């Protein structure tokens, strides 16, 4: 039988190799503190192994354990110089139940085990404080009876009340020892009446009863269901720690507090925390804010407050010592009893994303960790919260409803109740909030053009929430107090009615819906966050580009550190208001001549858009994708819109409707789109290529920075497709060079988003300067799952454990990933210097980025707000790979703490 009980005292602790498992988190932590020679109350922990032994022994605690408990108590008596049931200095224990991870439903702590009718008098006499001694005894009786006999604490209130009336004392508790004694004997009688046996007077029996009841709490319904829910094995078991009582609630020389090793507002080393004197709440006296260790806030400074009753320099030193041990900011629970300081528990401190960044920088400055370790300490996705707009001044804002914070950030805009309205208003340059009862895949375009999304129904994993997070838009879901009457176009909040076009603000970080606009602050990469980004840039190998079409997106991405544009979806440029008619004319034209006329109208728009993007990117690579989506996406929908467009074009409604019907496809995503459009209508490529080349020359002239445009062909499956389109592009390049008398450097590459393109990657690489893996379409085509319909059932797949994560958010490493790796290998075989990147949504997902690093891609491209996330994630991936090659234990001390901490 392994050792059942492990003892600890300042300076020494019996710590098994599996401390966390055997001693539980509390026991293991106390043992660690003791081993580090920090002041802990002496005590011992009964292991989970002993619990297992007891669980298989019916009725009562195994004899061996009873003997071992007796031995441990004897040891503790020797260490403390106190004795269980002693006529002087009686030993009292605090008994705490713990497990590897905290489990609700386990036994609560029982304090003052060892108090009985005799020892209470001894303590009262020794301290000269009967009130304190009996108050403790009363609490012990109640918690013992609650745990061991299952007597509800509320029942004692009636007993207490009855005694107050009979005893004739008026205060909140008895004033004299005599009155306390009467109360205690009434408690005894009540317990015996309800439990059928008296509360044991023998301290060792008390302790054994508490241990036995604590062991049984493993089987409480709450603990059971928690274990089922969290997959905690039934035989994991609990441990019980008993340590000498600290009289922390007695007087102004005692108290309870929590101390941290850093000031979380600055990330600097400083003792901070709070302390409550003698039983008062621990928030009453804060200390140490802002001051470095050594210049601690003076407890007396607050005027009326008494001074901190223990050695605060020692506390600061202990906390700093623990921080150095963990290599991270720590939080410590401590107690002071009669001016003596004890540490009860320590942990790596919880922190908000902003605090995490400040602390990581602070730890580097203090040389506790290195830059790489600082990067690894940050959860890249948590940066999302720091990088979205926030409301600056909330004072005068009128909150009209509250829903779930589904996607972070705040946004103001005019209400639009339909995707069509949202697109129209956005096309006119207005900021829009899309308000729906719930969203569906066809709302995606409306969501894209909106500043934010509000839904009346749905949770944080509803379609709206998932899509909004994916595209980085603020979103509030489940705002049930609001009513949306879609038919009448009314949003009501109580007596207030809002219609389309009225302005609201949503805060996707708090879930609030606010009437009217609000002042918003755009985040920036300043201060510690900027420094962390510098660290990341030094550590990463992959380049981080952005997916951007508009100047605003391109500027935002540059400010977030994007190193070029990896995907400019040109079709998005045509969705804007003044361009849609020309685009429609092009699509609806019956012949090439008509298309060329419409395209001639579009050329200047495209050219000026590209000039602007090239200028913003100032010489960084810009990848422009030729027209990709099925053309029907641009056409009017519904009778009213068709009638409107027909009259605009001066044609009959019926003729327009016929033309639209002809363009309709059963399966547009697999239909006439991508390079297939370019092959059917080469004039589209010609105009787009011309716009790109002319813009490059223009931008170069204006800024002086060399522009090397990258033209990307979408949805290639056959090498011959790329040959065909590339030939058109090259022709136009020659023409423009001849016209302008200027040479042009450019690249032509392709998206890789079809399985056939992967299989033929070696052949396709013969003509492609670069590949960009389009993991949105690639996932769609590899899985055979429509990306627009996937949300309807993939969440069920996740819930039922069929897939771990939505492959449209995080790359499916085993399937899609394996194919990407094959494509990379084949491409490099043909063309070792081919540039390889990814531009699907997964390009901004940290887990996917780790995979792309392993696969050796050259860059990832993601939405602007994701760029900092990607910079950190790419750095983490590179660091992890280099550590796995070099082995652990590089510069930083990191989290190399032994088990059980
Ligand atoms: C892709 O398919 O991954 C991609 C980036 O292109 P889109 O999302 O525009 O189809
Ligand atoms: Mg695609």
- Atom nearest to 777 CA in ligand 1: 2
Atom of ligand 1 nearest to the CA of 840: 3
- The Cα-based distances of 581 to 419, 636, 640, 648 in angstroms read 18, 10, 16, 9
φ and ψ at residue 777, rounded to 5 degrees: -70, -35
| Residue 719 sits in the same domain as residue 767 | yes
Span from the CA of 625 to the centroid of ligand 2 (angstroms): 10
Distance 643 CA to ligand 2 centre (A): 32
The predicted-structure confidence for 672-719, as pLDDT tens digits, reads as follows: 999 999 999 999 999 999 999 999 999 999 988 899 999 999 999 999
Atom of ligand 1 nearest to the CA of 753: 2
**Does 824 map to a domain?**
yes
pLDDT in tens, 562-600: 999 999 999 888 876 678 888 898 998 888 999 999 999
Give yes or no for residue 626 CB within 6 A of ligand 1: no
Closest CA to 309 of 332, 337, 343, 285: 337
Distance CA 343, CA 222 (A): 30
- pLDDT given at position 574: 81
In whole angstroms, give the CA distance from residue 328 to residue 21. 23
Catalytic entry in 243, 463, 632, 681: 463
Predicted local distance difference test score (pLDDT) of residue 712? 98
Instruction: Give, in order, the Cα–Cα distances in Å from 104 to each of 99, 197, 218, 223, 240.
Output: 10, 29, 10, 6, 15
3-state SS of 730-777? HHHHHHHHHHHCCCCCCEEEEEECCHHHHHCHHHHCCCCCEEEECHHH
C-alpha 17/C-alpha 467 separation (Å) is 46
Q: Which residue has the tokens 């092009």?
A: 586
Closest residue CA from atom 8 of ligand 1: 776
C-alpha–C-alpha distance, residues 141 and 136, integer Å: 9
User: What strand order describes the sheet that includes 404-407?
Assistant: 398-402, 512-515, 503-507, 410-416, 432-436, 452-455, 475-477, 404-407
Whole-number pLDDT of residue 783: 97
Q: Based on the fold, state whether residues 264 and 236 are members of the same structural domain.
A: no
475, 568, 675, 839: the catalytic one is: 839
Residue with tokens 């379409």: 777
**Kind of pairing, strands 239-244 and 255-263?**
unpaired
Supply the pLDDT for residue 271. Answer: 86
Mean pLDDT by 10 residues, the chain (901 residues): 93 94 96 97 97 89 95 97 96 97 94 97 95 96 96 93 89 90 96 95 97 96 91 93 93 88 88 79 56 36 61 91 95 93 95 90 95 96 82 89 88 94 88 92 84 89 75 87 90 94 94 94 83 97 94 90 96 78 88 92 93 95 95 84 88 90 90 96 96 96 91 98 98 97 95 98 98 96 90 83 91 98 98 97 96 98 92 98 72 37 38
For 600, the 3-state DSSP assignment is helix
Residue 72 DSSP SS3 = helix
Q: Which of 244, 264, 289 is the last residue of a domain?
A: 244
Distance CA 749, CA 115 (A): 82
Do 703 and 617 lie in a common domain? yes
Cα–Cα distance for residue pair 23/97, rounded to 1 Å: 10
Indicate if 188 and 120 belong to the same structural domain.
yes
Encode burial over 702-713: b for 16+ CB neighbours within 10 A, e otherwise: ebeeebebbbbb
Q: What is the 3-state secondary structure (H, E, C) of 660-700?
A: HHHHCCCCHHHCCCCHHHHHHCHHHHHHHHHHHHHHHHHHH
Residue given tokens 């009967």 in the structure block: 130
Q: Compute the chain's Rg from CA coordinates.
A: 35
One DSSP character per residue, 814-834 reads IIIIHHHHHHHHHHHHH-TT-
Statement to judge: residues 165 and 268 lie in one domain: no
> Per the structure, how many domains does the chain have?
4
The token pair that represents 470 in the structure block: 């994916």
| Mutate-to-test residue for ligand 1 from 570, 776, 781, 787, highest number of ligand atoms within 8 A of CB | 776
CA 690 to chain centre: 45
Give the torsion through C-alpha atoms of 730, 736, 737, 740, to 10 deg. Answer: 180
795, part of any domain: yes
SS3 track for 84-151: CCCCCCECCEEEEEECCCCCCCCCCCEEEECCCCCHHHHHHHHHCCHHHHHHHHHHHHHHHHHHHHCC
Rounded CA-CA distance 562/424 in Å is 30
Best probe residue, ligand 1, of 546, 567, 819 (max atoms within 8 Å of C-beta): 567
491: which 2 tokens? Answer: 């949003």
Here the CATH number for the domain that contains residue 602 is: 3.20.20.60
Could you tell me which of 482, 500, 513, 499 has the C-alpha nearest to residue 411?
A: 513
Q: In angstroms, what is the span from residue 549 Cα to ligand 2's centroid? A: 15
CATH no. for residue 467? 3.50.30.10
Which is nearest to 349 in space by CA: 334, 327, 316? 327
Residues 470 and 588 in one domain: no
Q: How many CA atoms lie within 13 A of 363 on its CB side?
A: 32
Instruction: List all residues 6 or more positions away from 522 whose beta carbon is below 8 Å from its beta carbon.
Output: 389
Q: Token pair of 781, please?
A: 């085509």
- Do strands 410-416 and 432-436 pair parallel, antiparallel, or not at all (unpaired)? parallel
Q: Assess whether 62 and 154 both reside in one domain.
A: yes
In a shared domain, residues 500 and 590:
no
Note the pLDDT of residue 607.
95
Show the domain range for 509: 395-519
CATH code of the domain containing 304: 3.30.470
**Residue 696, in any domain of the structure:** yes
Name residues with Cβ closer than 5 Å to ligand 2, which is an ion: 753, 774, 777
pLDDT at 171: 81
d(CA 575, CA 589): 18
What is the tally of helices (H) and strands (E) in the chain?
33, 32
Listed residues 206, 221, 244: the one ending a domain: 244
Asked, for residue 559, whether it belongs to a domain, the answer is: yes
Please identify which residue in the block is written with the tokens 């829903």. 403
Residue 863 lies in a domain: yes
CA distance 520 to 447: 20
Residue 698 in domain: yes
Query: In a 10 Å sphere around its CB, with 0-12 CB exposed, 13-18 middle and 19+ buried, how is residue 745 labelled?
Result: exposed
- Please confirm, yes or no, whether 675 is among the known catalytic residues: no
Q: Any alpha helices (H) in 508-651, and if so which ranges? A: 527-539, 551-559, 570-574, 580-588, 592-617, 638-649
Beta bridge partners of 495: none
| Beta carbon of 576 within 6 Å of any ligand 1 atom | no
Q: Is 816 in the pocket of ligand 1 (CB under 6 A)?
A: no
Q: What is the pLDDT of residue 443?
A: 83
- Indicate if ligand 1 lies below 6 Å from the C-beta of 567: yes
CA atoms within 13 A on the CB side of 72: 29
Residue 546 three-state SS? strand
Q: What is the pLDDT of residue 630?
A: 87
Identify whether residues 69 and 131 lie together within a single domain. yes
826, 510 Cβ separation under 8 angstroms:
no
Using CA atoms, how far apart are residues 838 and 752, in angstroms rounded to an integer? 9
Element (H, E) at 496: strand 496-499
**DSSP single-letter state for residue 442:** G
Total number of residues shown for the chain? 901
59/260 Cα distance (integer angstroms): 45
State how far the Cα of 519 lies from the Cα of 514, in Å rounded to an integer: 12
Residue (of 389, 617, 683, 645) closest to 524 by Cα position: 389
The pLDDT assigned to 222 comes to 94
Active site residue 463: yes
Q: Are residues 479 and 562 in the same domain?
A: no
Give residue 596 CA to ligand 2 midpoint distance, Å.
26
| Residue ending a domain, choose from 244, 274, 309 | 244
Taking a C-beta distance cutoff of 8 angstroms, is the pair 598, 583 a contact? yes
**Domain-embedded: residue 312:** yes
The CATH code of the domain that includes 223 is 3.30.1490.20
Check pocket membership of 774 for ligand 1, CB cut-off 6 A. Answer: yes
Q: Do 565 and 703 belong to one domain? A: yes
Tokens, residue 16: 């098994």
Helix 653-663 vs helix 638-649: crossing angle, to nearest 10: 110
β-sheet bridge partners, residue 643 = none
The three-class DSSP label of residue 332 is: strand
Q: 716 alpha carbon to ligand 2 midpoint, in Å?
A: 10
**Hey, what are 70's tokens?**
């007796």
Verify that 561 and 477 share a domain, yes or no: no
- 751 CA → ligand 1 middle, Å: 9
- Asked if residue 451 is part of any domain, the answer here is yes
Query: Residues 6 or more apart from 526 whose CB is under 8 A from it?
Result: none
Secondary structure letter of residue 810 according to DSSP:
S
CA-CA distance, 440 to 681, in Å (whole number)?
A: 32
CA 368 to chain centre: 25
Q: Is the CB of 775 under 6 A from ligand 1?
A: yes
């Amino acid at each position: 039988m392994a050792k059942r009980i492990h003892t600890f005292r300042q300076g020494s602790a019996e710590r098994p190799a599996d401390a966390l498992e055997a001693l539980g988190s509390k026991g293991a932590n106390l043992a660690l503190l003791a081993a580090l020679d920090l002041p802990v109350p002496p005590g011992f922990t009964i292991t989970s192994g002993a619990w297992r032994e007891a669980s298989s022994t019916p009725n009562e605690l195994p004899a061996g354990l009873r003997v071992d408990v007796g031995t441990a108590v004897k040891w503790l008596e020797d260490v403390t110089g106190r004795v269980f049931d002693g006529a002087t200095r009686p030993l009292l224990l605090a008994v705490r139940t713990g497990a590897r991870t905290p489990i609700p439903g386990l036994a609560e702590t029982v304090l003052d085990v060892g108090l009985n009718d005799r020892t209470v008098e001894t303590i009262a006499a020794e301290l000269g404080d009967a009130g304190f001694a009996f108050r403790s005894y009363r609490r012990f009786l109640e918690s013992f009876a609650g745990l061991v006999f299952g007597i509800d604490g509320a029942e004692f209130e009636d007993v207490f009340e009855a005694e107050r009336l009979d005893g004739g004392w008026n205060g909140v508790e008895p004033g004299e020892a005599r009155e306390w004694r009467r109360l205690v004997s009434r408690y005894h009688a009540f317990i015996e009446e309800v439990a059928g046996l008296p509360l044991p007077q023998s301290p060792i029996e008390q302790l054994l009863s508490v241990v036995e009841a604590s062991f049984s709490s493993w089987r409480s319904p709450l603990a059971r269901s928690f274990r089922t829910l969290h997959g905690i094995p039934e035989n994991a078991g609990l441990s019980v720690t008993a340590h000498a009582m600290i009289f922390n609630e007695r007087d102004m020389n005692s108290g309870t507090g929590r101390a941290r090793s850093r000031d979380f507002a600055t990330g600097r080393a400083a003792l901070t925390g709070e302390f409550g004197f003698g039983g008062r709440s621990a928030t009453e006296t804060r200390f140490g804010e802002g001051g470095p260790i050594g210049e601690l806030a003076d407890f007396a400074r607050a005027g009326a407050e008494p001074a901190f009753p223990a050695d605060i320099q020692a506390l600061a030193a202990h906390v700093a010592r623990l921080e150095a041990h963990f290599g991270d900011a720590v939080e410590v629970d401590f107690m002071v009893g009669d001016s003596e300081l004890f540490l009860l528990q320590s942990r790596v401190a919880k922190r908000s994303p902003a605090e995490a960044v400040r602390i990581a920088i602070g730890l580097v400055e203090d040389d506790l960790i290195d830059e790489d370790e600082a990067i690894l300490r940050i959860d890249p996705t948590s940066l999302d919260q720091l990088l979205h707009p926030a409301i600056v001044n909330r004072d005068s804002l009128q909150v009209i409803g509250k829903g779930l914070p589904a996607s972070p950030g705040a946004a103001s805009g005019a209400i639009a109740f339909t995707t069509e309205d949202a697109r129209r208003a956005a096309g006119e340059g207005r900021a829009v909030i899309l308000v729906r009862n719930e969203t569906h895949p066809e709302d995606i375009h409306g969501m894209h053009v909106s500043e934010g999304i509000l839904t009346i129904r749905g949770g944080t994993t509803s379609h709206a929430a998932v899509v909004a997070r994916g595209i980085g838009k603020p979103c509030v879901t489940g705002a049930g107090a609001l009513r949306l009457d879609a038919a009448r176009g009314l949003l009501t909040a109580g007596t207030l009615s809002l219609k389309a076009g009225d302005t609201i603000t949503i805060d996707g970080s708090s879930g609030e819906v606010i009437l009217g606009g609000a002042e918003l602050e755009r985040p920036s990469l300043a201060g510690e966050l900027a420094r962390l980004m510098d660290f990341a840039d030094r550590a990463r190998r992959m380049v981080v580009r952005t997916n951007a079409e508009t100047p605003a997106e391109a500027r935002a991405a540059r400010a977030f550190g994007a190193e070029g544009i990896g995907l400019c979806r040109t079709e998005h440029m045509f969705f804007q208001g003044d361009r849609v008619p020309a685009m429609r004319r092009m699509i609806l034209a019956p012949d090439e001549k008509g298309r060329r006329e419409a395209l001639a109208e579009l050329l200047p728009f495209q050219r000026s858009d590209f000039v602007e993007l090239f200028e913003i990117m100032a010489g960084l690579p810009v990848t422009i994708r030729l027209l990709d989506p099925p053309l029907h996406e641009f056409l009017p929908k519904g009778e009213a819109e068709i009638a409107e467009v027909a009259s605009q074009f001066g044609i009959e409604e019926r003729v327009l409707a016929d033309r639209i019907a002809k363009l309709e496809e059963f399966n547009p995503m697999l239909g006439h789109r991508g390079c297939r459009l370019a092959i059917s209508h080469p004039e589209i490529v010609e105009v787009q290529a011309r716009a790109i080349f002319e813009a490059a020359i223009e931008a170069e002239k204006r800024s002086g920075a060399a522009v090397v445009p990258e033209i990307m062909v979408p949805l290639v499956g056959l090498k011959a497709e790329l040959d065909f389109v590339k030939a058109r592009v090259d022709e136009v390049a020659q023409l423009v060079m001849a016209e302008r008398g200027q040479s042009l450097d450019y690249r032509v590459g392709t998206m890789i988003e079809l399985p056939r393109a992967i299989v033929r990657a070696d052949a396709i690489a013969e003509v492609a300067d670069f590949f960009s893996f389009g993991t949105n379409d690639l996932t769609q085509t590899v899985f055979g799952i429509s990306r627009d319909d996937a949300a309807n059932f993939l969440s069920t797949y996740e819930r039922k454990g069929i897939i771990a994560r939505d492959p449209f958010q995080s790359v499916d490493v085993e399937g899609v990933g394996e194919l990407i790796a094959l494509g990379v290998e084949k491409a490099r075989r043909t063309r070792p210097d081919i540039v390889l990147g990814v531009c699907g949504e997964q390009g901004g997902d940290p887990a996917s980025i780790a995979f792309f690093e392993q696969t050796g891609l050259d860059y990832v491209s993601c939405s602007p707000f994701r760029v900092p996330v990607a910079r950190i994630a790419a750095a983490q991936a590179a660091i992890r790979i280099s550590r796995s090659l070099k082995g652990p234990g590089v510069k930083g001390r990191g989290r190399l703490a032994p088990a059980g901490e």
